[in-house]
Structure 1
Amino acid sequence: MSGRRDALQRAALYVGGFLGPFGGSVVVSMLPEIGADLGVSAGQAATTVTAYLAPFAAAMLISGTLGARWGRLRTVRIAYVAYVAVSIAAALAPTLPMLLGARGLQGVANAFTTPLLLAVLAEITPRDRLGRALGMFGAMQAAGQTTAPLVGGLAAEASWRWAFVVLAAAALGLALVGLPDGIRDDSGGRAPRLRDALELRVVRVGVVALLGWGSLGGLNFLVAFRVEDDFGLGPSGRGALLTVFGVAGILTARRVGTVIDRIGARRTVLIGAVGGALLVITIGTADHLAVVVGAWFLAGIASQCVLVGINAAVLGDHGANRGGAVSVVQSFRFGGGAVVPVALTPVYSADPIAAFVVPALLLATVAPLMMPRRS
């Protein structure tokens, strides 16, 4: 019985990784329905995406450290319960401002789960198998981001509010299951400090995370622009193409983790960065749609090399505040995703090719310089 419970709790670690990206992206496909129901435009409804991601990225700067101080088990459970409450509030929101407030609180609550789940995973996994475990976590995150628009669209056929009911039910289930037995529920010894998480090495890995996500997965909006402008793809075609990136992550993230266990995190990150940069240039310049689709699929694999690799680089180091460190790195990652649309949309308007070449060059040149050698 205890073995079955332990297996269920370990599975809950990975499902928690699924919940974060799923909750962030679930509104993407139902923005028109949200706008129509709340009496605003679809463009105004789109602020529900930013309302989630901005507090999510900001809170993760400190959530890992605070969670380690308060106790990871306790913090994750409270965060899940809070997620249940604000998801119900979102489902019942009568106005856009109230929905935006609920979405922001969802992001904050999720910030107190994702990095702590990664830290727990590192604690219960042998060092020589850490890459594979993080790869599975990465695959679940990719699955959450990939399936969210589909589930949101299906929910919107009845009412967009049902999507938030689903989120509340999932978070409640995770809160009841809890984390694997044996996880320390206190920091033990000296309380973790934010300055330990913000040491130069961690910040350098964070910059690589920012570039890795911003220059690969964060370019999905540019890919959509390009295939519409140059190949005439409609909404369903664009949606299907963008899904290819996430499918690649689902299929290959665990194998990427195996590669990390064999050749190390730094080498894997650099392979993903340089290879991903070449693929981004291909996506921005190829004359055939099939080439763009194939390159976008391979870019999904390159993205997993970078994202799983940076997590392994931080969590594989026995630092004073590993949970806080991975929290900071994840904050950089999602901050990069939030900044890229603002930075590159004007570039695309002026020169579509440059909008792909610039982030590719930054990724290929800066990542090798910033990625620490001690990984």
Structure 2
Amino acid sequence: MRRAALYVGGLLGPFGAGVVSSMLPELARTFDVSQSSAATSLTAYLLPFALVMLVSGTLGERWGPMRTIRVAYAGYVVVALLAALAPWFWLFQVSRGLQGVANAFTTPLLLTKLASVTPKERLGRTLGLYGAVQSIGQTSAPLIGGLAAESSWRWAFVGIAAVAAVLTASPLPPDERAAEQAPRLRDAWRPVVVWSGVVIFVAWACLAGLPFLVAFRVDDAFALGPGARGLVLTAFGLAGIVTARLVGSVADRFGPRLAVCAGLLLGAVAVASIGLVAALPLVVLAWAVGGLCGQLVLVGVNALVLGGEANGRGGAISVVTALRFLGMSASPAAFTDLYRHSAVWGFLLPGVLLAATAPLLAHRIFRSGTGPRARLRHSRG
């Protein structure tokens, strides 16, 4: 039961971040702002979330991971209700930022706890299951947001507060005995962490960070309402849920580096095609393939980092997850204006960046000593 609570907690981050993706036109009308300004509600959540997460994993290990998680859930309840009641756009944005800060103290600590109770040879499958739960959050968020916007988008944040309240009351595993030496911030910044973080920054900016752009695309090209837009966006998360077990097995059998490279290259094709195809089913299919690719990248990178040395592991996954969401927060600013200029280039450029990142990963991770041959040499030594 307590282990299950660790998995369920993983949905809150992508749920809270993505709930506004399909309601941006309605937010713009409610607060009398442009759609570009409404899209910054994604950044308002993700930027504080990512910046605080550069240190939250280490701080949470010092304070007690499970205690820190429970306090963060309780804070999330309060600030989600603030978003539901906000009469002004600036206050709504403040509430989004505070949601991000609260969530920064849950995501990395949940991952670290799961890694500590999982045998290394099954780590990929465990992370795949955790990724599936996150995909449920990512899938349900735009759908709930779109359906809520049919009457009032504010109900979506009431729902978020309810989810956080349930998690606050859920049983969690007890904290382990504190280590003799408290973790230091610099313990997290190993070379494999830095380069893995660079890769996932690009991947989340150019792949998993694009639901807002897909929503714009299906609205402009096919005139879909908010509920239908939310349904289209669920394709990404549904694909991640369905393929989670397979992705975890691939990472365990062939190594996380190969899983990440495959996700980047296939994701490049999927993203670029969204701006080129003129049929709605093909757009949905391409976005679903993107969901599979996102799982490959996420599980692979997390396995690279959590499969290393235990000292500072919480801080390490916190840094990588921070860079992941910093990439996601940069996506609206990077691609919205480009998309308005040209729908084709709005999706083609992210595809090119994904493809260009794969050789970087293959080279740097291999040299850092985490590739299959390096692991083989280590086992023989």
Give the TM-score normalised by structure 2: 0.86
**Residue 224 of structure 1: how far off its partner (Å):** 4.1
Q: Is the 8 A contact 1:19 1:144 kept in 2?
A: yes
Structure 2 counterpart of 1:370: 361
Amino acid corresponding to residue 367 of structure 1 in structure 2: A
* Alignment partner of 2:338 out of 347, 359, 364: 347
Q: Is the 8 A contact 1:203 1:329 kept in 2?
A: yes
Q: In 2 relative to 1, CA 73–136 (structure 1 residues): closer, same or farther, beyond 3 Å?
A: same
Structure 2 counterpart of 1:120: 113
Structure 2 counterpart of 1:134: 127
Amino acid corresponding to residue 239 of structure 2 in structure 1: A
Cα distance in 1, alignment partners of residues 84 and 228 from structure 2: 30
Cα distance in 1, alignment partners of residues 73 and 300 from structure 2: 27
Cα distance in 1, alignment partners of residues 170 and 330 from structure 2: 36
* Alignment partner of 1:308 out of 299, 304, 308: 299
* Alignment partner of 1:359 out of 328, 338, 350: 350
Report the more deviating stretch, 258-267 or 110-119: 258-267
Cα distance in 2, alignment partners of residues 199 and 255 from structure 1: 29
Q: In 2 relative to 1, CA 118–348 (structure 1 residues): closer, same or farther, beyond 3 Å?
A: same
* Alignment partner of 1:147 out of 127, 131, 140: 140
Cα distance in 2, alignment partners of residues 326 and 81 from structure 1: 23
Report the more deviating stretch, 52-61 or 81-90: 81-90
Structure 2 counterpart of 1:200: 191
Cα distance in 2, alignment partners of residues 239 and 85 from structure 1: 26
Structure 1 counterpart of 2:176: 184
Structure 1 counterpart of 2:166: 173
Q: Is the 8 A contact 2:66 2:173 kept in 1?
A: no
Cα distance in 1, alignment partners of residues 246 and 332 from structure 2: 30
State the Cα deviation string for residues 201-248 of structure 1 (Å, max 9, x = none).
21100111112122222233444444555x544335544333211211
**Residue 192 of structure 1: how far off its partner (Å):** 1.3
Q: In 2 relative to 1, CA 281–51 (structure 1 residues): closer, same or farther, beyond 3 Å?
A: closer
Q: In 2 relative to 1, CA 271–156 (structure 1 residues): closer, same or farther, beyond 3 Å?
A: closer
Report the more deviating stretch, 204-213 or 365-374: 365-374
Q: In 2 relative to 1, CA 318–106 (structure 1 residues): closer, same or farther, beyond 3 Å?
A: same
Structure 1 counterpart of 2:377: none
1:276 aligns with 2:272: no
1:110 aligns with 2:103: yes
* Alignment partner of 1:220 out of 211, 214, 234: 211
Secondary structure in 2 aligned to 1:125? coil
Amino acid corresponding to residue 184 of structure 1 in structure 2: E
Q: In 2 relative to 1, CA 352–88 (structure 1 residues): closer, same or farther, beyond 3 Å?
A: closer
Structure 2 counterpart of 1:254: 245
**Residue 45 of structure 1: how far off its partner (Å):** 5.0
**Residue 337 of structure 1: how far off its partner (Å):** 1.4
Q: Is the 8 A contact 1:122 1:315 kept in 2?
A: yes
Structure 2 counterpart of 1:5: none
Q: Is the 8 A contact 1:140 1:250 kept in 2?
A: yes
**Residue 288 of structure 1: how far off its partner (Å):** 4.7
Structure 1 counterpart of 2:376: none
1:77 aligns with 2:63: no
Structure 2 counterpart of 1:234: 224
Q: Is the 8 A contact 2:21 2:215 kept in 1?
A: no
1:65 aligns with 2:55: no
State the Cα deviation string for residues 182-205 of structure 1 (Å, max 9, x = none).
x4153x022212212122221100
Q: In 2 relative to 1, CA 320–368 (structure 1 residues): closer, same or farther, beyond 3 Å?
A: farther
State the Cα deviation string for residues 237-277 of structure 1 (Å, max 9, x = none).
54433321121112112221121111111111111111212
Q: Mind listing any 5+ residue stretches in structure 2 that lack a counterpart?
A: 372-381
Q: In 2 relative to 1, CA 76–363 (structure 1 residues): closer, same or farther, beyond 3 Å?
A: same
Secondary structure in 1 aligned to 2:210? helix
Identity within the alignment, %: 54
Q: Mind listing any 5+ residue stretches in structure 1 that lack a counterpart?
A: 1-7
Structure 2 counterpart of 1:4: none
Cα distance in 2, alignment partners of residues 349 and 102 from structure 1: 28
Structure 1 counterpart of 2:4: 11
Secondary structure in 2 aligned to 1:215? helix
Q: C-alpha root-mean-square deviation of aligned residues, in Å?
A: 2.6
Cα distance in 2, alignment partners of residues 290 and 163 from structure 1: 27
Q: Is the 8 A contact 1:134 1:254 kept in 2?
A: no
**Residue 114 of structure 1: how far off its partner (Å):** 0.6
Structure 1 counterpart of 2:378: none
Q: In 2 relative to 1, CA 275–154 (structure 1 residues): closer, same or farther, beyond 3 Å?
A: closer
The count of aligned residue pairs is: 364
State the Cα deviation string for residues 137-161 of structure 1 (Å, max 9, x = none).
1111111111113323444566544
Report the more deviating stretch, 201-210 or 275-284: 275-284
